[in-house]
Amino acid sequence: MAAGLGACAKTPTECSGPCTSGDGAVPDGDVSDASVVDVLRIDFELIEARPAVCGDGVLRYGAEECDDGNVVSNDGCSADCMLEQVRCPTPTSSNFCDARPAACGDGVQVMAETCDDGNAVGGDGCAADCSTVEPGWRCRVPGRRCVPICGDLVIEGGETCDDGNVLAGDGCSSTCLVESGTAFCGDGLVSGAEECDPGGAGLDSGYDGCTNACLIGAHCGDGQIDMPFEECDLGSGNGTIYGPGCTRACRLAPFCGDGKVDQAFGEQCDTGSLIDTPGSFCSRGCIRVIL
């Protein structure tokens, strides 16, 4: 990069041109180590305090594979902030397909997988080939640890008890930990049937937080539309790239009739509700016609 243009500190992606102050540019020259650490610490704290929003230029690991600051596909990062998609192999198709191979252990559950807890190891709830959820376990959130089913009278995984219910105060906690022991929800250790445990001060029932029961709260993929963080949520049905449906980021996918010309998906025009109406130059399929 030429001297004087600065170093891009916005995302892990490479700069395609000179960075500006809006890109989080750090001027070239003598910068103390302490100053760099302070800048990175402040940026990290700000990033961690906000939910993942595809198109805001901030990469949130676990929720996004990339974020180039827009929701347009065919530019290296797809409309739902997944690594670039390619056109479907069917010659007559105008849609885009997910080009990434199904990789068990990458934390992204695709149609060929029943679960994906971020590893390819069996005995932890998700089979080593991601084909089945192992008996006595549940894998509720892709990319997060599977947990033993608390309340089934079977002690699995990190459970230290299982009395057949998920009630606290009866000797066996709601996450199947012996209540007289040292392990408990809020101790900062993920154990028993806990899905998360950031410690007592970190428990948060907000979006994508860790509730007081040490379970992951409302999140993209739970089948519930959580405004204002989500536009849609079809649970396991998320993953649409183009057309009616919902993306893996719980955003409405671009489609013919949304009023935006999505050239990456073969649209030549898009007049919204006026498509294919008498006198319209935009036909069904968002193809321009000569009147």
Cα dihedral value 146, 84, 260, 58, nearest 10? 60
With contact defined as beta carbons under 8 Å apart, do 137 and 154 qualify? no
Considering Cα of 225, then 175, then 191, then 131, what sign does the dihedral take? negative
C-alpha 129 chain-centroid distance: 21
pLDDT, tens digit (0-9, with 9 covering 90-100), for 29-67? 454 555 554 544 545 445 455 677 888 888 776 677 778
pTM: 0.54
Instruction: Give the 3-state DSSP-derived string for the chain, with helices as H, strands as E and coil as C.
Output: CCCCCCEECCCCCCCCCCCCHHHCEECCCCCCHHHHHHHHHHHHHHHHCCCCCCCCCCCCECCECCCCCCCCCCCCECCCCCECCEECCCCCCCCEECCCCCCCCCCCCCCCCCCCCCCCCCCCCECCCCCCECCCEECCCCCCCCEECCCCCCCCCECCCCCCCCCCCCCECCCCCECCCCCCCCCCCCCECCCCCCCHHHCCCCCCCECCCCCECCCCCCCCCCCCCCCCCCHHHCCCCCCCCECCCCCECCCCCCCCCCHHHCCCCCCHHHCCCCCCCEECCCEECCC
Rounded Cα distance, 25 and 34, in Å: 17
Q: Which of 37-46, 186-195, 231-240, 247-256 bottoms out in mean pLDDT, i.e. has the lowest?
A: 37-46
**pLDDT higher at 252 or 183:** 252
| Domain residue spans of the chain | 7-48, 99-148, 256-291
C-alpha 26 chain-centroid distance: 29
pLDDT, tens digit (0-9, with 9 covering 90-100), for 141-182? 888 899 999 999 999 888 989 999 988 888 898 889 888 766
Rounded Cα distance, 136 and 88, in Å: 39
- pLDDT range class, residue 112, cuts 50, 70, 90: confident
101-128 in b/e burial notation, b at 16+ Cβ within 10 A? eeebbbebbbeebebbbbeeeeebbbbe
Q: In the predicted model, is pLDDT for residue 211 greater than 80?
A: yes
Tokens representing 206 are 């907000």
Find the distance separating the first CA and the last CA of the chain, reported in whole Å.
Answer: 50
Average pLDDT over all residues of the chain: 76
Place of tokens 């990069």: 1
pLDDT, tens digit (0-9, with 9 covering 90-100), for 10-32? 343 444 444 444 444 444 445 45
What is the pLDDT, as a whole number, of residue 94? 44
